[in-house]
Structures are given as structure tokens and as C-alpha cells.
Amino acid sequence: MANHHRSNSLPPSTHSFLSKLVLFLTILPLALAALAFVLQWRGGSVSDPTTATSRWAPRGSRREVFPGTETSSSLPPKYHHSSNCINLGRSSSPSFPYYGDWKFGFEDTGLAQILPWMFYHKVIGVTTFYLFVEGHAASPNVSRVLESIPGVKLYTKQRSLRSSKLKGQLPFRIWNETWLSSFFYKPCNYELFVKQSLNMENAISMARDAGMDWIIHLDTDELIYPAGASEYSLRQLLLDLPSYVDLVVFPNYESSVERDDIKDPFGEVSMFKKNYDHLPKETYFGLYREATRGNPNYFLTYGNGKESARVQDELRPNGAHRWHNYMKTPNEIKLDNAAVLHYTYAKFSDLTTRRDRCGCKPTQEDVKRCFILEFDRAAFIIASTATEEELLHWYREHVVWGDKDLRLKLLRKGILTRIYTPMAIIQALRESGVFSSAIANAPASLSRDKFMSSIDSSNSSRDVPSVSFSSRKIEEGENKASARKLLKIEAMAAEVAAVPPLSPPVWTDNDRSRIVERVAGGNSSIYTRFVVMMYSRRGFCSAT
């Protein structure tokens, strides 16, 4: 009571001071919090020692370098710091985990697509990659990143077929046989098809020498989807494959984009159109027109899938989609569940990038020399003649699935399907920093000797296999009768023509009887069905 009496007896000036002190102590933390919020909202004008090294280049910088290639003098003064930490946190961009504000320009090099493609296949069991690259993807900066990844064999020196033929630098056997000859000396997609076949022949020899069990040719816009196997494993998928099976066909599913602004197909596309081989015939033909939407075929591009081959003597490519054997007719099966996911024309920019790779005239006659498939021809003509606005309208009409009701109908009927697993795996790899680490751990520079050595090895890989494996010479003193018999067998096997990219069966009112006959005779009992599995004891390799 006495204390209370004394406090009430304090002078008015003391009461005023205490009130101001309490008000100051209340406002101070609020002001500091507001200041911190403003600084963060404005982009952090105060350098944070824990994140300074993640901003290795100023915003808007167009210098395309990789982590570790720059010197200290190349960095602005405010970016010099003793911290060696790298910000591997999530990126606001779904397409690639950039380091802070640093832009690499990977969209031009293809590395933003190659790394997710490669590490995804590592997750499902592929052990070795034979990468045949050209253009920006063959640049020294990209090469050093790819070569630093375990299991990657890189081949960068790709020439035009005509000049290579004149210089005698093409494999002898494959070039001098008739099964691929109908694709020779044609531009654009035909040349690509032949070049892929030549690379596949080289990859066979390398895979055989390395002790690989299986080989498959994939492009970097394709992902294997090992449905039907436990643990989502390609190795597990092939574990119980009978020993007499030589070839395994993976039917392809085609990406069906729902927007026209896709930047990262692997991370943004979840809807796919199922292959004819994985649909009831009544469903496929009954909904053919709705699934085609006025395009030339059921799929925009190819529909005959990709094939994996057991690595064995006398194996040869049979075009970019199939394999064959010089000495026998191989046993082939087709999988009921597993597929290759093909992300074709998934980005609007694919129209112009494909156009820019070909020097053909945008006429109906000339595009037939350049493109095997009808949609590619139509896309090239429109991309070469239309304005940007017209091209975007065409893309929305022919590629983008904007009709929600049609999407739902075809999803219910099984023509379209949702597949999320590859997206989830790649996103997990991205968030864990795998792609960023692959870049950061690459050597600071690719030495000239090593780069030239990689080029020389790519040259020798074209020559040696053609002698040691693909075009074995009959040694002197060998029985001539045996040699004639061997050549006769090889000639018979070589009659099987190369399998080009093919569209699925076509449905037309005028050709109904032919289609029904094709379905009944071509798909009823050709393939023995298996839930196939095979453990690759030595490895599984992919050539692209």
C-alpha cells in the first residue's frame, strides 16, 4: 500500500518520460521488421554473406559461362566473398535449377533437356550412355559437363553424310547395303535417319566391347516408361525375359499438351495419347476422328515405337526404330504396358526450331524430299509462310488440347492417359540439386588435348567397328566355300528394309475393308505377350 502511494505521488514529468520510453521500445522492433521486409521485397540491396556467391553474374548479364569457369577478376566487386557455398535451393523456374539470378542460356545448348533425360534414365537402370551430339550441344562448355558424368561416352564430331562419304569416313558395311539405301542423299529428316542408323552401328560395337546386355536408341525428347515392372525399374522389367528373345518393342505414347506456353515438357506435361497397340481396336477406330482432330494421322509424328536389342554377334540397326541381325531372323516381342513417352512438338518454339534445321522450300513437292511424316511437312510449311500470330493459332488448333470436354471424354475412353511418375522423378532430381551438382562438379575447362581426343575417338569409332565387328573381312587362307556361304546368308538377311518412323493405322471411310483386314491379319497373333523382365548384370546402354 505504501509503495502504491509513492508511485502515485511521482511528478508528471516522470510519467511522461516512462510513457515515451514504452512507446519507443514498442515502435523500434516494428520499424526494424518493416525495414527488413522492404529490403527483401526490393531484391536485397544489402549483400547477404550466405547468398552472395549464388549471384555470380549481374541480372541481365548475357555472358554464358558455367560454374567454375570464371576467374575472380571477372566478377563485380560486390560479388567477391570468401564463402564457397552454392545456393542449390529451389528455382522459381520449372525448367532448370539456375544458380540465383545467373542465366546459362541452356535452352540454346540443350543441356537443360539432356541432363534431366540422362539422370531420369539412370534412376530406372541405364548404366551407359553413348551420346552423339552436334551443334550447340557439342560445344566445349557443354561437352565438359557431359563428359564429367560417370557412364557417359560423348561423340561430338558429326559431318554431313555426303562430305563424309566423299572422304571415306562412313562405315563401309552399312553404307554399301540396300536395306538403308532408299534414305541416302536426301536432306533433313532423311539425312538424320541415316546418321542415327550409322551412330547405332557404332554404338553396337562399343556396347559389345563394354559387355553391355541391352541397347536402345532414344532421342532426348523421349523417356522410357517401364510400366508393368515392380520398383519402376527398366532392369526389373527385363529381368525374366526368356533367353530366346532378342528384341523388345516399346510402343510409344505421344505428349498431348494442354497449353501453348510449355517451357519444360518433362516437368509440365502429364497427358499422353496411348499407342494403338495398347488400345482395343474398337476404341481406337471408334474414336479415331475425334482423337485425330483434323491432323493427317492419329499421332502427330511416328507411332511404331522404339526397340531394345540384346547385344550379340551380328546385331545391326534396322533404321532408327528397329534392330535386326545379319545371321538370323531375331525373335521379337512387344510389351503390353511399358512404353516410350515421346514429347513431340510440346513447345511452341519446336515449330520454328525444326524449320530452321532444314533448308527445304515450303512447297508440297519439296517437303516430301525432307520429311518422312505428313505432319512434319505441314508444320514446316506453316512455320515457313505464316506470321507469328497465324502460327500460334495453327499450333493451338492442331497441337494444343484446349477442348476440356473432348479431353475428359478421351481420358474416360482410355485414348488419353495421365502419367505423372517421370515428372515426379525429374522434379525430385531437380530439387535435390543433382543437375546443379553435375554442372558445378564439371572441370573448370576442357583441355584442348582432351577435346581433340574426344573428337578423334568419335572418328575412330566410325572406322574401327566397321572393320572389327560390322564388316568383318574374310581373312586370307579361310575356306572360300565358307566365305561364299556366309555372304549368301548375309545377303538374305539384308533384304529386310530399314523401318522408318511410321504412323499408326489410318482410318478412312473409303478404305474401311482394307483397315479391317490389316487389323485382323496384322495384330492378332504376331507377338507373344509377356510381362517381361531381365536383370542387366553388366549394364544397359542407350545411344542417341
Lowest mean pLDDT among 78-87, 137-146, 207-216, 486-495: 78-87
Q: Do 436 and 88 contact (CB within 8 A), yes or no?
A: yes
CA–CA separation, 358 vs 421, rounded Å? 34
> Computed from CA positions of residues 273, 276, 278, 284, in that sequence, does the dihedral angle turn out positive or negative?
positive
Check pLDDT > 90 for residue 534: no
Check pLDDT > 50 for residue 133: yes
Check pLDDT > 70 for residue 48: no
Instruction: Give the model confidence (pLDDT) of 475-491 as tens digits.
Output: 333 333 333 333 333 44
pLDDT for 185: 81
Q: What are the structural domain ranges in the chain?
A: 109-258+275-344+433-442+525-534
| C-alpha to C-alpha distances, 156 to 89, 159, 374, nearest whole angstrom | 32, 10, 30
Which residues contact residue 364 at a Cβ distance below 8 angstroms, ignoring those fewer than 6 apart? 377, 381
β-pair partners for 317 = 323
pLDDT for 496: 73
Highest mean pLDDT pick, 153-157, 173-177, 353-357, 393-397: 393-397
The more confident residue out of 182 and 366 is: 366
- What is the 8-class DSSP label of residue 304? S
Task: Concatenate the DSSP letters of all residues of 485-529 into one string.
Answer: HHHHHHHHHTTSPP----PPPP--GGGHHHHHHHHHHHSSSSS--
Lowest mean pLDDT among 26-40, 211-225, 515-529: 515-529
CA–CA separation, 259 vs 345, rounded Å? 12
Lowest mean pLDDT among 66-75, 125-134, 159-168, 194-203: 66-75
Helix (H, G, I), strand (E, B) or coil at 356: helix
Check pLDDT > 60 for residue 528: no
Check pLDDT > 90 for residue 11: no
pLDDT for 78: 34
User: What is the rounded average pLDDT of the residues 402-410?
Assistant: 97
Helix (H, G, I), strand (E, B) or coil at 449: helix
Crossing angle (nearest 10°) for helices 448-468 and 140-147: 70
pLDDT for 501: 81
User: What is the rounded average pLDDT of the residues 19-45?
Assistant: 66
Check pLDDT > 80 for residue 544: no
Q: Do 542 and 249 contact (CB within 8 A), yes or no?
A: no
The more confident residue out of 235 and 452 is: 235
Check pLDDT > 70 for residue 400: yes
User: Grid coordinates 495398347 are at which residue?
Assistant: 278
Give the length of the chain: 544
Check pLDDT > 90 for residue 522: no
Check pLDDT > 90 for residue 80: no
User: What is the rounded average pLDDT of the residues 240-252?
Assistant: 92
Check pLDDT > 70 for residue 164: no
Beta strands in 290-383 (DSSP E): 306-310, 315-317, 323-325, 332-334, 339-342
Lowest mean pLDDT among 111-115, 170-174, 536-540: 536-540
Q: Do 251 and 322 contact (CB within 8 A), yes or no?
A: no
Instruction: Give the model confidence (pLDDT) of 502-513 as tens digits.
Output: 888 877 655 444
Q: In this structure, what C-alpha cell is assigned to residue 345?
A: 512438338
Average pLDDT, the chain: 73
CA–CA separation, 317 vs 306, rounded Å? 12
Instruction: Give the model confidence (pLDDT) of 413-428 as tens digits.
Output: 999 999 999 999 999 9
Q: Which helix (H) or strand (E) holds 214?
A: strand 214-217
